[in-house]
Structure formats: structure tokens, C-alpha cells
Amino acid sequence: MPVRTSEIIQFTNCYLADKSKLIKKDLFVDTNSGKIIEPPKEEIGVEIVDLNEAIISPGFLDIQINGCFGLDYSTTFIDETSKEKFIHDYNNSMVGLLKYGVTSICPTVTSSFSNVYKDILSLLGETRSSSQADSLGAHIEGPFISPLKKGCHPPETITTMSNGYESLYERYGHNFEKYTAILTAAPEIDGCMDVISKIVDNDKIVFSIGHTMADFDTGLQAVKNGASMMTHLFNAMPTYTARDVGVVGLISATSDELSKSKIPFYGLVADGIHVHPSAINLAYNANPYKAILVTDALYLIGCEDGIYERGNQKIEKKGHLLHLDGTSTIAGSATYLLDCVHNLIKWTGIPIEKALATITNNPAKALNISNKKGFLNPDCDADLVILTKSGNIKQVYKLGQMVYDLA
């Protein structure tokens, strides 16, 4: 890596991919604060980096990723040694993600018993690092979901919110809010609808509709109560039909049903396995400013093909395809986030700057962190991905420090 000669970097001869636009403009970074800054009044002490017409994108945000490189985030510890090993492997995995342009994630914990949440959530809370990907806070996916749309979630862990908000404390622990960014649940289950408003009351946790049998009207009420996202659209929810649109219909709700600003953000797994390319095209064009690409990656991403055990389940990995062994049930993905972006470009015909917004601007807006992540605005963290015009990664910067260089 080159030795830094100044506190301020001026990236020049480059295109900024931000807000679905591609603009030829210089970008200034303060390496001390790790933030993007306004152009300084004096040019003295500014290090100029000529990018030869490359593209600068905000660092990629993956807000649904269950693990990577052999590490499963839904785990518990038998002793202090196993906990220390997890922390070591977790930090290494967060370094490994940088190579793929992923600078922030919501480490996702799927439906589990209370011991898992109480062991793991405090380790997955928000971070800010110049040497590895950040956690934006955990994404708790379940166990308050419909048993009819459980997917690969262990059925024995699924439960209701019959005790109201206390049900969350019983399963997640009393400090779960401190470490959580997203909570996915099915609004129709016992007790859930009344709890949504309290979950989102602190403006930190996003309630996401997922693994649900809810119809359109139930989903609409959940949004009015504070739900602002949907987890992996089309997957683990009722099929959209002409007269029974289900919660999928929320993404194109009419103005008399929902104001444009209240239409929820929605995750899309554009791996060509979870959702048909035609459906991805349809969903993206319904509301491109609310579409968020996620990997839904399981811990097997980066691992060799084969049969792997996860708790009491066996998962078969074949390339990017993950199934519960011996079934057709999808068990997450093994496709990298930038590959999903390239798929979106291919299937929709949109330019790269619009596709990149689905893994930068849109997730940042969904999580209410646009003031610090996901944009190239002054005062945002200088988490940057330098791309060729064809969308291949050349370099990655974390808080203004180069952490990956393929140039």
C-alpha cells in the first residue's frame, strides 16, 4: 500500500456514482476524521490521486447476510474459548468482505432459541473501523414468523409475541435494542401488530415484514403502525396474483392506500435463484428508490461445494445454490453483492449508477443513516469503492484508508 503523504486526499479525473447519477467531479477526503469533506480553501498539503476516469461509489451495504467464509452469525458458545474464536473469526470475516467492496453489513441472526441471541447480539452491534467492514447493527430475522413461511428456519424455534413487547425481551434479552438495526417478523402472528410501533419508537430499529402469510390489508396496517421494510421480497410470503396481491402489493400501493414516502423499502436477492429475473425486473421498476439488493448469504459463501451441518440441519452447497439437503427449500445464498448488481443491470437494462444505488443510497435511507453511510456527501464516512467503467473493483477505501488494491 502507498504511504500516505497528506491528511487530505483529492480524488480527481473520476466519476461519482451517487443518488442514481454519474457525475464527473472531484472528491475530497480527510484521512484523520475518515470523512468526506468539502473542497478545502487552500490546496497546500492536498494529495492528488488521479483515478483515470474510474468510478467512485460509496462502500457497499449488505443489510441481510447470515454469515460468510465459514462463519455462522447464528451461534452460541460453550465456553470462553469458543467465544474468543468466534470474535477472531468474525473480525477476519469483516476484513475479508472488503475485497468484495462490502464496507458495512447488518449481520443477520435467523430464528433461534434465547441462548443464541443472548450470547451473540452484543458482539454484532454497531462499529466504525478503518481496517474492516462495519456492523450497522444486527438484523434479527425471526423467530416471530409464520410457521407456514418458515423457509429454512428451524420450526422448533418459531414463536409468537403473545406477551407483547415482553416476548422480545424473553427471547432476545433485555438489551437487544442496543445492538439491533432491523427486526424481521410476521405482522399477523399473535401480539405482533400491537408491538410494531414500540419497536420502531426509538428511531433506531427498523421493522421489516417477512416470513409472513399476511394479506395486503394486514401488511398495510403494519406499515401504518411503523413497518418500513420488507425482507427478501417474494420469498417466504404469499404469491402475488391479480386479485390477491398479498404484501408484495405494498411496493406499488396506490396513493389513496399509502403515500409515496410510506411505501416500504424491500430487499431483493438478485442471484437468479431466489427470484426469477423477470420478477426482479418487475419489482425494481415498481419503485427503484425503495429497492435494496441483499445477498441473504449463508456462512457457506466462500466455501467449497459439499454438504454442511447447521444445527440439526444439513445444507447442500452447489456453486451459488444452497438447499436444505434432500429438499428444494432454499437455504440462503452464496452470491456476492456486486454479482447481484451485475445481474440487476443485465435483467433491467439500467446503468451502473442506478444499480449501485440499491446497495448504497437505498439501504442507508432505509436504516436512517444517510448522514454517515451510503452517500458521497460531505461528513459521510469515506468508505469508498473504486470501480472500472464496467463495474469491476479496483480499490477499496475504509474511512479514507486504502484497504484493498487490485490496480
State the pLDDT at residue 331. 75
**153-162 per-position pLDDT tens digit:** 999 999 999 9
Task: Supply 20's cell numbers.
Answer: 442514481
Q: Average pLDDT in the 69-83 region?
A: 95
Residue 133, marked binder: no
Residue 175, marked binder: no
Residue 267, marked binder: no
DSSP conformation class of 28? E
Residue 70, marked binder: no
- Is pLDDT above 60 for 33? yes
State the pLDDT at residue 407. 66
In order of start, what are the domains of the chain with their CATH numbers? 8-58+376-405 (2.30.40.10), 60-366 (3.20.20.140)
**194-207 per-position pLDDT tens digit:** 999 999 997 889 99
Q: What percent of the chain has pLDDT over 90?
A: 85
Q: CA nearest 195: which of 178, 179, 177?
A: 177
Task: Supply 401's cell numbers.
Answer: 484508508
State the pLDDT at residue 125. 97
Q: Beta-carbon neighbour count of residue 175 at 10 Å?
A: 13
Residue 243, marked binder: yes
Task: Supply 37's cell numbers.
Answer: 469533506
Compute the distance between CA of residue 78 and CA of residue 76 in angstroms, rounded to an integer. 7
User: Across all residues in the chain, what is the average pLDDT?
Assistant: 94
- Is pLDDT above 70 for 2? no
Q: What are the φ/ψ torsions at residue 34 (nearest 5 degrees)?
A: 75, 25
At 112, the amino acid letter reads: S
State the pLDDT at residue 110. 97
C-beta separation of 394 from 387 below 8 A: yes
Residue 211, marked binder: yes
Q: Average pLDDT in the 78-103 region?
A: 97
C-beta separation of 61 from 104 below 8 A: yes
How confident is residue 97, by pLDDT bands cut at 50, 70 and 90? very high
Compute the distance between CA of residue 139 and CA of residue 57 in angstroms, rounded to an integer. 24
State the pLDDT at residue 42. 80
State the pLDDT at residue 239. 96
The interaxial angle of helices 165-172 and 192-199, nearest 10 deg, is 80
Residue 141, marked binder: yes
Task: Supply 79's cell numbers.
Answer: 465456553
- Is pLDDT above 80 for 310? no
From 7-21, 115-129, 311-325, the region with the lowest mean pLDDT: 311-325
Q: What percent of the chain has pLDDT over 70?
A: 98
Q: Average pLDDT in the 67-71 region?
A: 92
Compute the distance between CA of residue 184 and CA of residue 181 in angstroms, rounded to an integer. 10
Q: In the block, which residue shows the cell 448488481?
A: 341
State the pLDDT at residue 298. 82
State the pLDDT at residue 316. 85
Q: Beta-carbon neighbour count of residue 133 at 10 Å?
A: 31
Q: CA nearest 209: which of 252, 149, 153, 167?
A: 149
How confident is residue 11, by pLDDT bands cut at 50, 70 and 90? very high
Residue 232, marked binder: yes
State the pLDDT at residue 13. 98
**E strand or H helix at 166, and its extent?**
helix 165-172
Positions annotated as catalytic residues are: 296
State the pLDDT at residue 209. 98
**232-283 per-position pLDDT tens digit:** 999 999 999 999 999 999 999 999 999 999 999 999 999 998 899 999 999 9
**341-366 per-position pLDDT tens digit:** 999 999 999 999 999 999 999 999 99
Which residue did the predictor score with more confidence, 326 or 340? 340
Compute the distance between CA of residue 233 and CA of residue 284 in angstroms, rounded to an integer. 11
Residue 291, marked binder: no
